[in-house]
């Protein structure tokens, strides 16, 4: 408690949060900072920071897109990438990236590399797909400025705002179609509707089947990867997402989504001190979801049409395990929840769309009912 009060007085931590309906792009909650009285700077829209590992799903999406264009069928979530340290030379410059805590797994599947946010494994995926193709995909999204096609692009070493990252992530729950965010529904003056017509429209950026593969891989981020602690804290909905931090841990990002809710949380320090000991943005995301989301639908599986069963089900290394079941004439993947992910008194379920255990009920004393308190919690936790 004393530490939290000290942080509040010194004002070292800042946060931004955007929650939206990915189906329509309508913004449901928007927090630009910890205190409007202390600073009117809107970090959700104006603050340009390195997205870091939050960008990695777009690297794997590029790899699947390139494989589909060339007719390759051997690039799947179970494909192997090399997670070993290497020095890269580009434009007469030398770059030797490292993994967090200098841990390297050697040969590793795409799924595990993304779930555990392995830097070297992801860089080698970008290298095989083409750095220029990774940059071209981000440019095609139409958010922010296009990054340079350097090896460091695989680790999100360019600048973007939380608003831009949240917009880009609408691609995944919409099966390859990006939806512009909407912050105004209607403006009336004197009883008349004077709202200007919104000319923005959804834009198809990637194939539904390749987007499905990356979304399925991002499920593993919560089930077994860098955001797995959210499961241990009681978050049981079928969801996907990605954590991200910068080199000096000054910035910590998390973007997570269900079909009905996408939340972006960003926490940053003004000083050189780490923003937090580990990427815990998913902690706020979990509480943002907890209120009223217990019986919401799971991530859609209607985007796997044309994706071979081996592509969809491959790559799960540990529980929750991926299996198959018969759905008419098609075999589709399902998830067997690990015992450690179940709440006391809950029932195990079959397929992923039914893998939603009862969430912890929220009473009137729930401190996470308002977005302002959410932002305050991510700052002080």
- Residue 317 C-beta-side C-alpha neighbours within 13 Å: 18
Residue with tokens 């029932």: 347
DSSP letters, 144-196, are: SPPPP-SGGGGGT-S-B-HHHHHHHHTTTTTTTEE---B--S--EETTEE-PP
CA distance 151 to 230: 31
Q: Is residue 275 part of a domain?
A: yes
Helices 56-69 and 208-223, packing angle to 10 deg: 150
Provide, rounded to the nearest whole percent, the portion of the chain with pLDDT above 70. Answer: 66
Calpha distance 216→194 (Å, rounded): 42
**Hunting for tokens 């264009």 — which residue is that?**
69
In a domain, 1, yes or no: no
Alpha-helix residue ranges (DSSP H) falling in the chain: 2-10, 56-69, 110-115, 119-129, 131-141, 162-169, 208-223, 229-232, 281-290, 309-313, 371-380
- Residue 68 covered by a domain: yes
Cα 286 from chain centroid (whole Å): 13
The residue-averaged pLDDT of 103-131 equals 96
- If you search the block for the tokens 């593993």, which residue do you land on? 220
Stated as kind and residue range, the H or E segment containing 109 is: strand 106-109
The pTM for the full model equals: 0.74
**Domain assignment present for 169:** yes
Residue 376, domain member (yes or no): yes
Least confident of 137-146, 182-191, 244-253: 244-253
Asked if residue 231 belongs to a domain, the reply is: yes
In a domain? residue 334: yes
Give pLDDT tens digits for 268-305.
765 444 444 333 444 444 444 444 444 455 565 555 55
Domain count, the chain: 1
What is the average per-residue pLDDT within 249-270?
A: 85
Whether residue 361 is predicted with pLDDT greater than 50 in this model: the reply is no
Beta-carbon contacts of 65 under 8 Å, excluding residues fewer than 6 positions away, are 133, 137, 206, 207, 210
Token look-up 């009905």 returns 260
Supply the CATH number for residue 143's domain. 3.40.710.10
Most confident of 133-137, 305-309, 334-338: 133-137
Bond preceding residue 126 cis, omega within 30 of 0: no
pLDDT tens, position by position, 211-252: 999 999 999 999 999 999 888 888 888 999 999 987 666 778
State the residue range of the domain holding 160. Answer: 12-184+196-380
Residue 332 phi/psi, 5° resolution? -125, 155
In a domain, 25, yes or no: yes
Q: Is the pLDDT of residue 67 over 50?
A: yes
* Helix%, strand%, coil% for the chain, nearest 5: 30, 20, 50
């Amino acid at each position: 408690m004393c530490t939290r009060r000290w942080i509040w007085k010194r004002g070292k931590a800042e946060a931004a949060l955007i929650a939206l309906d990915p189906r329509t792009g309508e913004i449901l909650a928007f927090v630009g900072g910890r205190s409007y009285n202390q600073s009117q700077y809107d970090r959700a829209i104006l603050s340009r920071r390195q997205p870091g590992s939050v960008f990695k799903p777009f690297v794997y999406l590029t790899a699947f897109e390139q494989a589909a264009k060339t007719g390759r069928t051997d690039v799947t979530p179970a494909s192997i990438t090399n997670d070993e340290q290497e020095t890269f030379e580009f434009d007469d410059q030398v770059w030797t990236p490292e993994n967090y805590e200098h841990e390297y797994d050697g040969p590793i599947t795409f799924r595990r590399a993304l779930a555990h946010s392995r830097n070297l494994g992801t860089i080698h995926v970008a290298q095989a797909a083409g750095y220029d193709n990774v940059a071209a995909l981000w440019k095609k999204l139409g958010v922010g400025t296009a990054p340079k096609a350097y090896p460091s692009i695989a680790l999100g070493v360019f600048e973007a705002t939380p608003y831009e990252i949240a917009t880009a992530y609408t691609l995944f729950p919409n099966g390859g179609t990006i939806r512009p965010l909407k912050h105004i529904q209607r403006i009336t003056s004197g009883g008349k509707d004077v709202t200007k017509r919104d000319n923005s429209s959804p834009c198809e950026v990637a194939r539904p089947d390749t987007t499905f593969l990356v979304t399925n891989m991002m499920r593993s981020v919560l089930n077994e990867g860098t955001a797995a602690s959210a499961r241990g804290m009681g978050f049981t909905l079928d969801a996907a997402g990605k954590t991200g931090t910068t080199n000096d841990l000054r910035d910590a990002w998390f973007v997570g989504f269900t079909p009905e809710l996408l939340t972006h949380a960003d926490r940053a320090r003004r000083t050189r001190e780490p923003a937090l000991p580990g990427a815990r943005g998913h902690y706020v995301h979990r509480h943002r979801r907890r209120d009223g989301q217990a019986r919401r639908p799971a991530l859609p599986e209607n985007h796997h049409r044309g994706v071979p069963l081996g592509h969809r089900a491959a790559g799960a290394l540990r529980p929750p395990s991926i299996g198959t079941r018969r759905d008419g004439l098609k075999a589709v993947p399902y998830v067997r929840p690990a015992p450690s992910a179940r709440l006391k008194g809950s029932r195990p379920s079959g397929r992923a769309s039914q893998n939603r255990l009862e969430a912890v009920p929220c009473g009137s004393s729930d401190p996470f009912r308002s977005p302002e308190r959410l932002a305050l919690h991510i700052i002080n936790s």
